Amino acid sequence: MTLVLTELPEAAQEAVARTRERVAALHAELPRNGLVVWTAGNVSERVPRPSVDSPSDGAPSTDPADTPELFVIKPSGVSYDALSPESMVVCTLDGEKIADGTPEALSPSSDTAAHAYVYRHMDEVGGVVHTHSTYATAWAARGEEIPCVLTMMADEFGGPIPVGPLAVIGDDSIGQGIVGTLRTSRSRAVLMRNHGPFTIGHDARDAVKAAVMCEEVARTVHISRQLGEPLAVPETLVDSLFDRYQNVYGQR
């Protein structure tokens, strides 16, 4: 039975609306940062589940257990200029589109199964991004991880950016490769072999940031290798840099 957005609790509908706004806006960051061409690439975000409300005057409480887990993702093959909050597709964690108010024929991204698999198997992930950014994809085409030779990499990724297995679009094979690779790494980016980078974050904005940083270090390390052999950041320093950046840097 297909879920109907307008039949969900009001708090859930409001959470979906806010998530659609965020995801639609964040898609503009991909072409702005040179990470995609044409209609390639996608951003998704897990819809926050409403917290339990204390009932007052006999009003029913909102129990997260009564609200299905959902995520919002870009529609397939739609121009970035044509995207809007209303065109963002809402799916269950099985990757199935719900009756979300978009035209029935509007399909979610072809990478939806991969995003759904990540959300089902990595509870800490709130956002997923996929691009075909030039330099990161060039490393993926070689099946080569990006070595940790920059303090920026230690800060952001906690080490090298690993390579995931070759997997084809159409089922959750890519998602399995993402999860299997990132389970053994501190990196929030993975280069799926012969395909391109996927990044994760605690929300979609965090995952977009990781995608931007992934392309930046892929480009810098590539240029460095044209000049000579880059020097690895010592592992003990990687650990301290990662801890400082993740726990001290910036505003709290």
Active site residues per annotation: 155, 249
As a whole number of angstroms, the distance between CA 97 and CA 106 comes to 10
Asked if 114 and 95 count as a contact pair (C-beta separation under 8 A), the reply is no
For residue 20, give the DSSP letter. Answer: H
Edge-to-edge strands of the sheet including 70-73?
Answer: 89-92, 70-73, 42-46, 127-130, 196-201, 189-192, 163-164
Rounded CA separation 123/105 (Å): 30
Phi and psi (nearest 5°) for 161?
Answer: -95, 115
Q: Is 143 left (phi over 0), alpha (psi -120 to 50) or beta?
A: left
* Paired tokens of 85: 């909050």
Instruction: Answer whether 51's CB lies under 8 Å from 64's CB.
Output: yes
Q: What is the largest CA-CA distance in the chain?
A: 72
Whole-angstrom Cα Rg for the chain: 19
Which residue has tokens 């997997």?
167
